[in-house]
Amino acid sequence: MAWKLLTAFLALAMGACTTPSLLAQPGTLVIVGGGLEADNEEVFRAFLEARLTEATSIAIVPAASGAPSQSAADFRDALVRHGADPADIRIVELAVKDDPATADIDEAGWSANADNPSEIEKIAQAGAIWLTGGDQSRLTELLIGEGGRDTAMLAAIRARLEAGAVVGGTSAGAAIMSDPMITQGDTLAALLPNAPGEEVRFDRGLGFFQRALVDQHFGERARLGRLAALLVSKDQPHRIGIGIDENTAIQFTVGETHVLVLGSGYVTFLDARSAKIGDGSRFAVRNLALSLASSGDRIALGDGQVEPAPNKQATVGNEYFDAETISGGGMALGGSTLAEVAGEALLDNSAARSVERHSFSGTFGVTYRLVQTDDSRGWWGRSPAGNASYALSGIRFDIEPIDITIMKAEN
């Protein structure tokens, strides 16, 4: 009887999701690389403005968090700060971990609510759905049922996206957007033998964003190498990856061919479709194509070409720098972010056609080589707020193994 009632409820909910007026606009994804600051007006505005006009309700799903009630409350407060009506916000009671901040509530008791009609109704009525950060495996554990089936709640989220709602998420809520999703892993562990750190792994994701493999906390945690390793893995089907920095997002309208970059950091587009994997025992890959974009830029998902924001001017042929590049690595070498190496040292530097950086653990290391090609394009500019950033595309990226010997010099 309970299952028959749930089935009847879902039929009504799905019917409400697919009325002709709601099908008038495609759904939207707002995918944040983690570390979303409460004052990031650009990202919050994009999320709120993408709501269905016929459904202003916002559903917050805190299932990934280790402190679900607090995580949901923090995001609710941030939404209100950016103009959301508190009466429109619903917190979906779905979690696997108890929140130590709420002594009177055991959030672990919410673990079966992906099939609870009262919680599913919060999704079915929402014009916007947000997935908080935490551990992405908790989300899939709760939203994917036995045998890999979609739970009723996951089916409702898919239906809302198809009906034109916006689905957003940060950190873990970004990782689950692709299928498969990256569950763990450190770059050096992915590239070097016997390196310390977590082994890179992936598992089934929710697949809302089907065009690429999504990685998050990208620049802050130096994840370029791990994304490259996954894109050439025979067990992982995507050959295009998108790495999103913290406090930064991509906005994607379902059915479109481009993503729009929002926020304070960079989005890295990595294309391994023409890559060549080394045939030795050590990891090596050549001829990856790399693009980099920042706020206001658009990236073509087909080929990674960047459409720069209007405030940016071309660098190639109008380079600001003219200096021999330093091939090195480590804390004593400045300009080590991807934007600085690929921008300042390469596409904005008339003296360089390639630049190298080295990383190692013990006696094993890798060289990252970025090469300017005839297809390379670069732009630089300041936003209206005065923030300077690059947009770059068509850079060749290679990873090659090296051996390291360190000897103390006589002094």
Structural domains in the chain, CATH included, are 2-18+25-264 (3.40.50.880), 277-294+312-403 (no CATH)
353-356 long-range contacts (CB < 8 A, ≥24 apart) are 354/325, 355/325, 355/327, 356/325, 356/327
Looking at residue 9, what is its pLDDT?
45
Q: How far apart are CA 21 and CA 287, in angstroms?
A: 47
Question: In whole angstroms, what is the distance from residue 188 CA to residue 168 CA?
Answer: 30
Q: Which regions in the chain score pLDDT beneath 50? A: 1-24
pLDDT of residue 318: 97
Q: Does the predicted model carry a pTM greater than 0.85?
A: yes
Q: What is the pLDDT at residue 334? A: 87
**In this structure, are residues 92 and 59 in contact, taking their beta carbons and an 8 Å threshold?**
yes
Please tell me the predicted confidence (pLDDT) of residue 401: 98
| pLDDT given at position 97 | 93
Q: What is the distance between the alpha carbons of residues 17 and 125, in angstroms, rounded to a whole number?
A: 8
Report the pLDDT value the prediction gives residue 12, as an integer from 0 to 100.
42
What pLDDT is attached to residue 385? 87
The string of pLDDT tens digits covering residues 32-90 is 999 999 999 999 999 999 999 999 999 999 999 999 999 999 999 999 999 999 999 99
Instruction: Write out the two tokens for 130.
Output: 């947000």
